Amino acid sequence: MPQMIKGDTGDWEIVIGMEIHAQVIARSKLFSGAATEFGAAPNSQVSLVDAAMPGMLPVLNKKCVEQAVRTGLGLNSKINTRSVFARKNYFYPDLPQGYQISQFEDPIVGKGKIEIDLPDGSVKEIGITRLHLEQDAGKSIHDQSPTKSFVDLNRSGCALMEIVSEPDIRGPEEAVAYLSKIRMILRYLGTCDGNMDEGSMRADVNISVRKPGDEYGTRAEIKNVNSLKAVQQAIDFEARRQVEIIEEGGKVNQETRLWDPNKMETRSMRSKEEAHDYRYFPDPDLLPLEFSSQWVEEIKQTLPELPDEKKHRFMDEYGLSLYDASVLIAERSRADFFETVAKDGGDAKLSANWVINELLGILNKNEKALSDSPISAEQLGGLIKLIVDNTISGKIAKDVFAEMFASGKDAEKIVEEKGLKQVTDTGAIEAVIDEVLAENPDNVEAYRGGKDKLFGFFVGQVMKKSQGKANPALVNEILKKKL
């Protein structure tokens, strides 16, 4: 459902296209052999190529090309077996070359599309315009001195993929869903770690507003939108700002604006305007990039099952709801964890419930990641197996689960040590029921006189006497007979 903005003159539709910059997972840089690891000492991972010393020549990293192709395949996009690197010219202290090597007219990946999952349970298709490879810039630090900026070139020359969407996104909810899905796909593919805190994934958001059915309005490009929350807030703010301008009779400027997360507003970056004259031209240091479709086919063979395929399989194969399937596929490791639990436990739906509601719940409460879970997938599967084969009841299982989380012990061991095995011996249950009935003659009388509600009271008494170990189904059955 597109989210509209209510203005004085009626509803306005928000039209959004996104440009996502994703740092490519590779050991070395796009055009040099310097390391790419995050957090190294300043300028320690800089070669003379990255520092743009005169005479240095770029040599393209094969792995980065492969990662871009992989990502293109994961985005269901056309792979261009011939692409061209171009220079994008602008000046900034953290860009030592005075130009960024990027791709302009002939990108490595062309048109494609992905599915996004919306909070109301619906699915929408978003078009991908292109993906191209380019160099990252260095990093400027402005808060160390009142009059100077410090420059670290460690990030300079690291490979980036810029993923451009069609203007198919309508509102903040869809924008967040789109960014989340791209992040998920990249992480599944192992082509970008998707870590927005460390800046390995960054988004620019193009926003315009229009009356439904009208032509596209003039758009503003919002930079520095670096978390899912910021995407939501920046779009909310910017769309409202544009509606106000138009309704007051003004015109929206086509310009670059910066999102300020502290002031919760976007503001014009005037200095960027002139720089938009990038004077692209083919980089004379690099020949066109060409590879065979045979190689693309080989890469295709190594793709993992992608989030949407997995989601559909979980729904078909295990009968899970769209919601449960979406939660489980959010991380590849989470989906794998669930599948192990389901295999060992023998009941997929029950396993999904336990993973989502119990395990993820308690991990979240303890601020732990799934990888740090004291209960392994095999152990949780073991617990579910005990429920499935009636060794313990679901209620007892919750106590066992808490004990497992605290001690890391196997469910079977805990059940044995504490004598929690469910009583399924009808003789034993009958004996307990007889006791309860003998102790409560008045209630038995009243029940037989028509007070049906007392049935729950008897069940409660029997369960209490058996310390929760009596099989509830059998208790119900035998009680009914005896009463």
Partner 1 sequence: MSLDKETVKKVARLARIRLTDAEVEKLGPQLSNIINFVEQLAEVDTDNVEPLANVADINLELREDVVNDGNCVDKVLANAPEKTQGYFVVPKVVE
Binding site for partner 1 (CB under 8 A): 26-28, 32-35, 41-51, 59-65, 84, 89, 91-93, 140-142, 145-153, 258, 269, 271, 274, 277, 279, 282, 286-290
Contact 432, 482 (CB under 8 A): no
Nearer to partner 1, 156 or 471 (CB): 156
DSSP readout, 304-340? Answer: PPPHHHHHHHHHHHH---HHHHHHHHTSHHHHHHHHH
- Between 150 and 455, CB nearer to partner 1: 150
Cβ neighbour number for residue 454 with a 10 Å cutoff:
18
Phi, psi of 214, deg, nearest 5: -75, 170
- Residue 341 has what DSSP assignment? H
What is the closest distance, in whole angstroms, from the C-beta atom of residue 292 to partner 1 in the complex? 11
State the minimum distance, in angstroms, from the CB of residue 188 to partner 1. Answer: 20
Q: Which is nearer to partner 1, 16 or 79 (CB)?
A: 79
Nearest to 74 by CA among 190, 176, 164, 199: 190
According to DSSP, residue 230 is labeled H
Give min distance, CB of 393 to partner 1, in A.
55
Q: Which is nearer to partner 1, 159 or 470 (CB)?
A: 159
Q: How far is the CB of 302 from partner 1 (least distance, A)?
A: 16
Sign of CA dihedral 273, 277, 282, 286: negative
Q: What is the DSSP letter of 221?
A: E
User: Least distance (Å) from partner 1 to the CB of residue 279?
Assistant: 7
CB closer to partner 1 out of 40 and 356:
40
Burial code of 47-67, b = ≥16 C-beta within 10 A, e = fewer?
A: bebbbeeeeeebebbeebbbb
Residue 127 or 199 having the CB closest to partner 1: 199
Give the C-alpha separation, 354 to 376, whole Å: 13
With a CB cutoff of 8 Å and minimum separation 6, the contacts of 106 are 80, 82, 83, 84, 288
Give whichever of 292 and 301 is closer to partner 1, judged by the CB atom: 292
**Cα gap 152→217, rounded to integer Å:** 39
* Backbone angles phi and psi of 371, in degrees to 5: -65, -20
**Owner of token pair 């198919």:** 168
Q: Which is nearer to partner 1, 36 or 466 (CB)?
A: 36
Report the nearest approach of partner 1 to the CB of residue 59 (Å): 5
Cβ-based nearer residue to partner 1, 49 or 116: 49
Residue 381's H or E segment, with its range, is helix 377-388
Q: CB neighbours of 262 closer than 8 A, spacing ≥ 6?
A: none
* Least distance between partner 1 and beta carbon 315 (Å): 38
Nearer to partner 1 by Cβ, of 258 and 315: the residue is: 258
Q: Which residues contact 233 (CB under 8 A, 6 or more apart)?
A: 259, 261, 264
What are the φ and ψ backbone dihedral angles of 17, each rounded to 5 degrees?
-125, 145
Residue type, 273: E
CB of 46 to partner 1, least distance (A): 5
The total number of residues shown for the chain amounts to: 483
70 phi and psi, to 5 degrees?
-55, -45
